[in-house]
Structures are given as structure tokens and as C-alpha cells.
Amino acid sequence: MQSERLDVIAVGAHPDDVEIACGGTLAKLVRQGHRVGIVDMTDGEPTPNSPGPETRLAEADAASEALGVHKRIQLNLPNRRLFDGFDHRVALAKVFRRYRPQLVIGFGDKTPTASPDHYQAMLITDAAVFYSRLSKWDEQFDHLPVYTVPRQLYFRLAVEPNLIPANAYHTIVDISDTLETKLQSIACYKTQFEHKPAIMERVRASAVVTGALAAVAAGESFAAARPFAVDDLLKTVLSERPST
């Protein structure tokens, strides 16, 4: 099981959610030597411009290769009928118990006018992080060992506002050197975005605006599920100094 461990797992409702939300950060983590995985709760099908699940899966595989992630997991939960419930919580908690990530990243808010699956994915992820550490319930999790996820962050889609309004604990990751990789991964979803050519410029513009808040060329913002403390303040605040 040690060989299966992932340092980071990002969770989306559909293939392409994670790429749009935090693809630049995942690509950067891979370049830094961390083992990164993506969980798609559903296959995103049916969808208007896709011929079927096989095509969407192939697009997700291509996007994973573009980002360099080490593992992509499909939970095969029902698209358009994704609801927070016991079985869905357990399915994701099993992933956390098996791969034992140091960090889980997922949706942090509703996405008005977009799929309600996104908010349900947030509820499921929150619950699965909790379920992963519950003892005396081994039979529910195929006897995978109990695991406590050390850190949880929330992302927002790149076409949503820069920050999650209800959360005060935000961090911006400098993705200046991986923004093009992020865009390349999004472009792999031809069935979703080839008929929406403006999406790339919207994602690019969002990254530029977010990065400008921290004086870098491009950024992605995250909110902490709960605040956490740092040990070396100077090392932390100087680790990613903007260029002058």
C-alpha cells in the first residue's frame, strides 16, 4: 500500500472540473516531485456534444497526461443525479484510506447557473474526509486502515469569483510557469470546449487577475477548510517571493 500513496488528491464532480479549478497547481506539484491524483466522481455523461463515456474517458486520460498526474480514479457515480449520501461518502473515503494523501482539494462552494453536482461533490468530499478517520467501522470500508487526512483545501472554478466569500483563509499559488500546461489540459476536452473558444481566454484572464492579487503573473486561489498554523513564518512568507 505504501507504493500506492499519493501526496495530493484533487476531487471533482466531472472530468474537467479539476483541470479548470486547479490544473496549474497540480502540474506545479508534479514538477516539484509530489505524487498527485485526481478523482472524478462521475464520468460526466450524458453531455450534449460527447458521443459517449468512452470519449470523455479518453479526454480525461489525455488531460491527465498533460498535467503529469500519477493516478486518475473514476468513481462511476451518477452524473446529473449526484447527491450527498452514505454510499457516495464511503466510496470516496475508501480512496482516501487507500492512497493516504497529505492534502485533499475539492469544491468549496456552490456554482450558480452551473451544475448542482459541484455542490454535492463538496458535501461528499467533506464527509469522506471525516469518514476516512472513523474507527470501529472497518466493514464499511473493505477493512482498509483508518486514515486521517492532514490538510483539506477548497478550490473554485476558474470562471467563478477569485475568492470563496464565506471563507477567510485564502492562499494563492503562483502558476506563472504552469498556466500553459493548465490550458493544454483543458483543451483536451474537445467535446466540452471546442464549441466554446472563449473559455481559454476566460481561464487565462482569471489566472492573471488572481495572480495580480499576489503580484505574480498568474495564480490559483484556495481556501482552507479550517485555519492552520505555520512553524517558520519567515520561511513560509518568503518561499514564493514575486519577482521585481
Paired residues of 8 in beta bridges: 36, 103
| Residue at grid coordinates 497529505 | 102
Q: Which CATH superfamily is domain 2-238 in?
A: LmbE-like (3.40.50.10320)
Q: What is the pLDDT of residue 244?
A: 41
Q: Tell me how far apart the alpha carbons of residues 132 and 112 are, in angstroms, rounded to a whole number.
A: 29
DSSP strand pairing (8-12 vs 71-74): unpaired
Give strand ranges (E) for 13-140. 36-40, 71-74, 103-107
pTM for the structure as a whole: 0.94
Q: Which of 155, 25, 45 is nearest to 7 (CA)?
A: 25
pLDDT at residue 79, rounded to an integer? 96
Q: Nearest Cα to 2, choosing from 92, 99, 97?
A: 99
Count other Cβ atoms within 10 Å, centred on residue 90. 18
Cell of residue 85, nine digits = 449520501
- Cα separation of 226 and 104, whole Å? 13
What pairing do the DSSP bridges indicate for beta strands 103-107 and 71-74?
Answer: unpaired
Taking the C-alpha atoms of residue 120 and residue 118, their distance in angstroms, rounded to an integer, is 5
Q: How many residues does the chain have?
A: 244
User: How far apart are the C-alpha atoms of 145 and 134, rounded to whole Å?
Assistant: 10
Domain ranges of the chain: 2-238
Taking the chain (244 residues) in runs of 10, the rounded mean pLDDT of each run is 84 98 98 97 95 96 98 97 98 98 96 94 98 96 97 92 84 96 98 93 95 95 92 84 50
Measure CA 50 to chain center: 23
Exposure of 185 by Cβ count < 10 A (0-12 exposed, 13-18 middle, 19+ buried)? Answer: buried
Answer yes or no: are the C-beta atoms of 218 and 205 closer than 8 Å: no
What φ, ψ does residue 59 adopt, rounded to 5°?
-65, -40
